[in-house]
Amino acid sequence: MIEILAVGGLLGIKHALEPDHIIAVSTIVGKNKGFWRSSFLGLFWGLGHTLALLFIFLILSLTKSSIPEAWSMSFEMGVGVMLIYLGVASFLNPQFSKRKISQQTESSNRGLFFKSLVIGQIHGLAGSAAMTILALSMVDSAAEAFNYIGVFGIGTILGMLLFTLLLSIPFQLSTHKYKLNRTLIGMTSAVSVIYGLYYIYKIGFVDGLFV
């Protein structure tokens, strides 16, 4: 069991670095002033992701049911929609203007933490079906599966916390360089929208949600 939990933690770290997770957090990490406060966006993302997984698993365990495939794919579709929204919102945010790049407040930081928590929850819902199947296949009981998901969640929290800390470096160094900061925000916004469109196409047409 200890070995299984260790594997779960390592898989959690790997899971945190999947493209859709990285892109989503990238759209907001540059808005938070300070390296450590930026890294906390990753912590809140991981917390939201873990809480969603544990909540869905608890419901499925109590009801002795599973997530219908159509629901699972719809949750995945929600990730694509969210990525498009985050990209557009980041580009249109007033902070994208020259005057407001360095005028960040504690209230806006709290708003970003909450936003990161919600983003993590959406990602957690999208991966809940696969995570439930994986956890149950690794262990012998629902209690052990619950523990496995919890350790997996700790891995995702640590992985995303470290990643957001590294990701914040170029944004923080360019805080007082308007053109560079604007370019970085514009690039992350564009990537988020493009990947979101690709994600919707993949889930809707390649995987068959719309077919």
DSSP-derived letter for residue 34 is S
| C-beta of residue 23 within 8 angstroms of C-beta of residue 192 | yes
| pTM score | 0.88
End-to-end CA distance of the chain: 41
Residue 78 has pLDDT above 80, yes or no: yes
Q: Return the structure tokens found at 135.
A: 């956890």
Distance between alpha carbon 87 and the CA centroid of its chain, in Å?
14
**pLDDT band with cut points at 50, 70 and 90 for residue 206:** very high
- Which residues lie closer than 8 Å to 64 by C-beta, 6 or more apart? none
Q: Which of 18-27, 53-62, 131-140 has the lowest average pLDDT?
A: 131-140
Average pLDDT, integer, range 186-195: 94
Question: Which tokens is 107 given?
Answer: 């209230």
DSSP 51-66: HHHHHHHHHHHHHT--
23, 203, 139, 59 alpha-carbon torsion, rounded to 10° = 90
SS3 content of the chain, % helix, strand, coil (to 5): 85, 0, 15
Question: pLDDT band at residue 72, thresholds of 50, 70 and 90?
Answer: very high
Q: Percent of the chain beyond pLDDT 90?
A: 47
Residues 87 and 159: their CA atoms lie apart, in Å, by 23
Could you tell me if 50 and 153 are in contact, meaning their C-beta atoms sit under 8 angstroms apart? yes
Give kind and range of the element (H or E) at residue 141: none
If you average pLDDT over residues 41-66, what whole number do you get? 92
Answer whether 96's CB lies under 8 Å from 211's CB. Answer: no
Residue type (1 letter), 157: I
Specify which of 54-68, 176-190, 192-206 reaches the highest per-range mean pLDDT: 192-206
pLDDT band for position 119 (cuts 50, 70, 90): very high
Confidence of residue 56 (pLDDT cuts 50, 70, 90): very high
Contact 165, 42 (CB under 8 A): yes
User: Is pLDDT of 174 > 80?
Assistant: no
